[in-house]
Every structure is written in C-alpha cells, then in structure tokens.
Amino acid sequence: MQHFDLATSYPLLNLVFFSANLVIDLELSQGSAGVKLTNTSVKNEFRNLKVSQIKGNGISGGSALHLTTNANQNRFYDISIANVNNSTSPLGQGITVSSSSNIFQRLMISDIFGSNDNSAGVRVNGGQGNIFVQLGSFSSTNTGVLLDTSIGNIFSHYTAANHVSNGIYAKSFTNNSDNYFQSVVIANGGDKAIEIGNASSGSGNLFQSMVIAHSTTYSIQDPGTWFNWVPVDSFFLKSPSGDTCSAATPTRCTTDIPFLNSTVNLTNAFVGKTTSDIANTRENAIGQSLYADIANLAQWLTFDSWLRGWGKSGSLFPASDNRGYCALGNTCQIWDWRVQSGSAIHNTSGNGNTSNDPFTPGAPCPAAVQGDKAINHSGITFLYNAIEIDGDRVGNDNGLCESSESCLYAPNLGAYQGEGAIREHCTFSDGIVSGVVMKAYLTTGHTIN
C-alpha cells in the first residue's frame, strides 16, 4: 500500500503520459489536490483509491481526482473520497472528468465544499462517453453530479442525499446532451433535486426509474426539452411535499413525466446515522466526532461499509440541518447509506410500487432481470437491473451487464445492491441481452443498528 500526505506540491500525485498501469491500494491525504491524470494518461486501472483532506488554494487544486482532456479509457474501482475544501475558488469537487470513455464503479464521495455552483461530488466538464456505476454522493455545499458540457455519459445506480442544492445540475449555456440516468435516488436536497440551468443546457437526455423525496423546492426544473423519459419499465416516485415539477411547458410535468407515486417517503429508507463502526477509530459511542478531531485519512475513510461516510449530524433525517459540508466547529456524524430492508427503495423495480420476484438459484431469474429488460445507449446494450461483476476475466468490466457476461442482480434503487456471500446463478431468459450468468448477493437490505 502506498500512502502520501502532508505534500506541499500540487497535486499529491501528478501523472503525465502515464499509461497502461495497474495501481492498487493508493492513499492520498492533506494536499491541495489528489490524483491528476493529464497529457494522454490512458488505459490505467485504479483499485481501492482513497483520497481525503484536500484543501484547494484558489485556482490551484480542489479536486480529489482530476482527469484532464485526453486522459481517456481509464478504469476506477472502489474509490473513496472525503473532506474536499476549496473555499476561495469555484473548484471543490470530488471527481472532475474532462476526458472520455472512462469507467467508475463503486464510488463513495462525501463532505465536499466549494464557493459556488461548481462544487460537486462529480463534475463532468467536457467529458464524453464515461460510465458511472454504483455512485454515492453525499453532503456537498452544492450538487451531487454536475454536468458541464457533458455528452453521452451513463449514470447507473446513483444515490445522492444531504446536498445543499441539487442531486443533478445541468449548467447553463453548456451542451449537456444524450446522457442517461437510471435507478437514481435523490433525498433531502436543499433546492431542486434535478435542475436544468436554462433552455440552452442541451437536449436528448434520458431518465429511467427515479425516486426523489424531501427536496426543498422542485423535484425537477426543466426550462425546455432537456429531460426525456424512458417510457418502458420506468417510473418516477416523489414525496408529496416540496417536490413539485416546474417546466416552461406545463405538459412536461404531467404527460411527459409519469409521476406514478406521489406519496413515497424516504425517512427510513437508509440505515442512516450509525451509532457504532468497528473499523473507525474516531467515532464516539453515538457515531459522532467533532470535525477538528477527525485527523487523518484512516479516520475519514475507514468504515465497516463502503457506503459509510462523515457528514453533518443535525436532527432526525430528513432535515435541513443534515445538509452540507461538515466543517470546523460542527459535530460530524457517520452516515450509513445502505438500504433499509422493506423500505420504498428495497427490492423494487418494474413500476416502482411492487416488490420484485424472489431470487432463487437454479430457478428462472426474476422478471426484472430477464433479457428483455434492457436498453441500448451510446452503442451499449445492457440490462437495467444488473451490474457486471468486475475483475472476473469475463466481459469488458465496464460495470454494465451485457450479453455473455457474469453479473449481479440489482434489486434495489440507487447505489446499494447488497454485500457478503454471492448466491449461485438463476436461469436467465434471453432477450436483446443473452447468455448472462446472473448471480445475486445474499444480503440486499439492512436494519438500523
């Protein structure tokens, strides 16, 4: 394991013409930026990358992971980022992607601070054809995912919560087109869950199977035709208060966007505030710590689950004092964003109102994961409700479940799909995707500890 901290250089690791390398167990902390790939640094693979305590200084720094133009076709698996702060510039991002055809799978990003609407867990700034699978973005001063000249990117199984502003924001006067969001949960945002800057923010974007709850203003604000809906095997669930739709054309909020359920409540959807974490040495008896006492990378990023991270404590979720960056003077809380068993986002797909069929090894696969439950986007045909098993030397390891690959059933909405023992495969029914070996986690939901 390589660990770097207290560096005075910018960034902590600057990779120039760095290609076709495998980087495992890299830890970076306490610099003005984390990892920067530039000048045709291509076809690298990073596994188990951890970056914390990034303090940008004006225009220098502010991103834990930055892929500049021409840093293409890189792969990132199991990435944890926390405590990124750039209070003196528009920067302040967990991941900044300005390149193309990169793959990101299992990302946990929390506690991000920046000075304006460019602050985000993930900012795609000029990037095209990138794939994000199982993304968790929490507790930023602005946005979970920021699209800023973003074309043809795929976001599959994404959870956002406790952001001051948006879960998804398409920046004004930039071309954000042909992006695809699928199985998305956005909870307890301080403004609009999905905000489209203006009518010049692009077009042709597809959304499928969305759950939005407890936003302060709108569930969607769409000034034009940016937002398109996948009409088959899709739904939009929202909570009854504070989650209205705003559009220049009224039918965009009625006919064009099918709000199938206006009573969804995510109050108990997640494990939430945790009172104990065996792996973390900083938390007290109720899972809290003063910000100033979280001193190093291990305390920021070592937890019992990859979907745990620090954020503001506040009152019972969802509440306004849960939102945003946990900063000096605050009491920070360990949040667990795994799905709670029996909640509105556990074991749910189809029309969003009924539970999935049981997964039984050797029996026919659940209806939600048969071969006709698929879409073609950006030239890739893949199943909605499954995730490719990476690192097994089968398939292309892009996180999307395509024909002739080994995959995991994804029965939940959002990033968390289970953990622990993997069950033997069910009998897959071929469709436009065929020949899949479909397995599943034994544990797909949790109770509050």
d(CA 66, CA 38): 8
Structure-model confidence comparison of residues 37 and 236, the more confident one: 37
Evaluate if residue 162 carries a pLDDT over 70: yes
pLDDT digits (tens, 9 = 90+) for 290-333: 999 999 999 999 999 999 999 999 999 999 999 999 988 999 99
Distances from the Cα of 328 to the Cα of 181, 282, 321, 332, 370, angstroms = 35, 16, 15, 10, 49
Residues across the chain: 449
- Residue 248 burial (CB count, 10 A): 12
Q: What's this model's pTM, rounded to 2 decimal places?
A: 0.94
pLDDT digits (tens, 9 = 90+) for 285-300: 899 999 999 999 999 9
Instruction: Identify each DSSP E strand in 59-216 by its residue range.
Output: 63-67, 75-86, 93-97, 103-114, 120-125, 131-140, 143-148, 154-161, 166-170, 180-187, 194-196, 205-213
- Reference 29, options 57, 54, 63, 55; nearest CA is 54
Task: Identify the pLDDT of residue 258.
Answer: 59
Domain positions in the chain are 2-261, 367-443
- Work out the pLDDT band at 261, boundaries 50, 70, 90: low
Task: Identify the pLDDT of residue 212.
Answer: 86
- Work out the pLDDT band at 343, boundaries 50, 70, 90: very high
Evaluate if residue 173 carries a pLDDT over 80: no
d(CA 318, CA 356): 26
d(CA 380, CA 157): 16
Are the CB atoms for 61 and 84 separated by under 8 Å?
no
d(CA 444, CA 196): 33
Per the prediction, the chain carries an average pLDDT of 88
Tell me what the mean pLDDT of segment 218-237 comes to. 70
**Helix, strand, coil share of the chain (percent; to 5):** 5, 45, 50
Give 181's DSSP letter.
E
Evaluate if residue 415 carries a pLDDT over 80: yes
Tell me what the mean pLDDT of segment 198-209 comes to. 82
Buried b / exposed e over 254-272, threshold 16 CB at 10 Å, is eebbebebeebebbebbbb
- Reference 330, options 52, 64, 139; nearest CA is 139
